[in-house]
Amino acid sequence: MAEEFRATGTVAPGTLIAATSKFVDAGVASGDDVVIADALMPFVPTLLAMGHGEESIDAFMADLTSVLARVRPVMVFLDGNAETALSRAATREGEQWLDRYVGKLADCQVSPPVADVASAVRYLLRERAVTLGAVRRRDWGLVVIERADELSSDEVLRVAQRSLRPWLETVGHRRGQTGRATGPGRPTSPR
């Protein structure tokens, strides 16, 4: 995916599907019960930034869901105030980060258009709505941690663990064990 993006400035949906298929193959082959993919799927922010509309994203999600049929995807969505999140990121990464982020969105010519922080917040609200809608229409497992921006990272982790229990218990029952987790971004607490 990175090579294609460097060469063309975009990534074709077919490339995203192929990469996901390889990821699923590796996860299934590992024998692990749980694999955590930090911000890997469902690629909606990437597709929106590349100019795909909701109809195209829904078609992509149908293909993606087929690829994920061998596993049970559960998306954990940290929800909160986008303005607060951008402010926190700017404090953490430096003010130049926020300028670069807004500039990147403006260069992508997303909809609604982004020219400043306020319009970036409006765009992020659309991105949120499209992402959650696409996941819900495909009947994935979905855990939304509301007001995550008001919680400490330890509190977010506790809510995520409690919310994921039903899925993790079915994994353990299926295998007769508690299951183990592996994968990129396997943090002991969220950032």
Distance CA 171, CA 33 (A): 7
Mean pLDDT across 122-148: 94
Rounded to the nearest integer, the mean pLDDT of the chain is: 87
Instruction: Over range 139-156, report the average pLDDT.
Output: 94
Residues 36-73 pLDDT 10s? 887 667 899 989 998 999 999 999 999 999 999 998 89
pTM greater than 0.85 (yes/no): no
Sequence-ordered list of residues with C-beta below 8 angstroms from that of 97, at least 6 positions apart, any chain: 89, 90
Judge if the upstream peptide bond of residue 112 is cis by omega within 30 degrees of 0. yes
- Distance, CA of 131 to CA of 122 (rounded, Å): 14
- Is residue 42 within 8 Å of 135, Cβ to Cβ? yes
pLDDT of 173 above 60: no
> What pLDDT is stored for residue 174 in this prediction?
55
**Mean pLDDT score, 143-151:** 94
User: Do residues 22 and 35 touch, judged by C-beta distance below 8 A?
Assistant: no
> How far apart are the C-alpha atoms of 19 and 43, rounded to whole Å?
11
Token pair recorded at residue 188: 């002991």
Least confident of 18-27, 101-110, 143-152, 177-186: 177-186
Among 35, 67, 60, CA closest to 131: 60
